[in-house]
């Protein structure tokens, strides 16, 4: 089953469309689009995955429930949007902002003034300019972290070098002991059995110190 195509009713605004400024209409369109995309993402297919048994035995009932849930969510989200807009006087503030802009433009036209400090910039350019300090701070933080990691790596390499030298010394000592043992074994193999037995008995008879 396909997902129901939904739209956010523009009548949720507290002002008629004829009295809405272009900026306010754009603001409402953004809210409507966000709600539409959110509700459309809750598809019947996803609901069926959550209730596979019901989708298999009673798909029509599940479809009706899906539509009812969508309508419930749309109604209450629109209500919450309206309450937030009304509580914070968003439409009035946007219209006041547009009025100030219109007055400023009209004033410039009346005095024939064109500010040399105002450059036409896209919203993307303005956003990048606003986020630049944050990016620079993030870059600084990353450099500090990189420096700490380098210092830690240097310390670990130094410790590894010391441990390697210690390991080499131990290996050298082991080789020397092994060599001495081999020599001792060679010497003992050259001694006749009778003499070796006599030496062992003598050692056994020695008094304990």
Q: Give the pLDDT score at 20.
A: 62
- Mean pLDDT of the residues in the chain: 80
Mean pLDDT calculated for residue range 164-173: 88
Q: What is the pLDDT of residues 56-95, one digit of tens each?
A: 999 999 999 999 999 999 999 999 988 988 888 888 888 8
- Which of 115-124, 156-165, 185-194 shows the lowest mean pLDDT across its residues? 115-124
Reference 4, options 46, 33, 44, 35; nearest CA is 44
Q: Three-state DSSP class for 5? A: coil
CB atoms within 10 A of CB 32: 18
pLDDT of residue 2: 42
Q: What's the rounded mean pLDDT across residues 20-48?
A: 87
User: DSSP readout, 58-123?
Assistant: -HHHHHHHHHHHHHHHHHHHHHHHHHHHHHTTHHHHHHHHHHHHHHHHHHHHHHT---TT-----H
For 111, the token pair is: 């005095």
Task: Give the pLDDT mean for 182-194.
Answer: 74
pLDDT band of 206, cuts 50, 70, 90: low
Closest CA to 79 of 35, 42, 113: 35
Report phi then psi at 112, rounded to 5: 65, 35
Residue 30: pLDDT over 60:
yes
Q: What confidence score (pLDDT) does residue 45 get? A: 92
Q: Convert the pLDDT of each residue in 10-26 to its tens digit.
A: 444 444 444 567 788 88
Give backbone dihedrals phi and psi of 187, rounded to 5 degrees, phi first.
-65, -45
pLDDT score, position 200: 72
Cβ atoms of residues 36 and 8 within 8 Å: yes
Percent of the chain with pLDDT over 90: 21
């Amino acid at each position: 089953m396909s997902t129901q195509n939904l739209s956010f009713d523009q009548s949720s605004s507290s002002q008629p469309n004829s009295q809405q400024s272009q900026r306010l209409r754009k603001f409402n369109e953004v809210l409507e689009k966000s709600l539409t995309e959110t509700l459309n993402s809750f598809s019947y297919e996803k609901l069926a995955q959550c209730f596979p048994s019901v989708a298999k035995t009673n798909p029509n009932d599940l479809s009706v429930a899906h539509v009812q849930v969508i309508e419930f969510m749309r109604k209450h989200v629109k209500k919450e949007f309206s309450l937030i807009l009304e509580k914070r006087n968003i439409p009035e503030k946007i219209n006041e902002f547009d009025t100030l802009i219109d007055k400023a433009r009209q004033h410039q036209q009346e005095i024939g003034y064109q500010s040399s400090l105002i450059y036409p910039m896209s919203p993307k350019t303005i956003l990048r300019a606003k986020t630049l300090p944050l990016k620079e701070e993030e870059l600084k933080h990353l450099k500090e972290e990189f420096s700490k990691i380098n210092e830690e790596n240097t310390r670990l390499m130094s410790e590894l070098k010391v441990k390697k030298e210690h390991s080499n010394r131990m290996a050298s000592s082991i080789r020397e002991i092994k060599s001495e043992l081999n020599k001792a074994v060679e010497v003992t193999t050259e001694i006749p059995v009778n003499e070796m037995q006599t030496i062992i008995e003598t050692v056994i008879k020695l008094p304990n110190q």
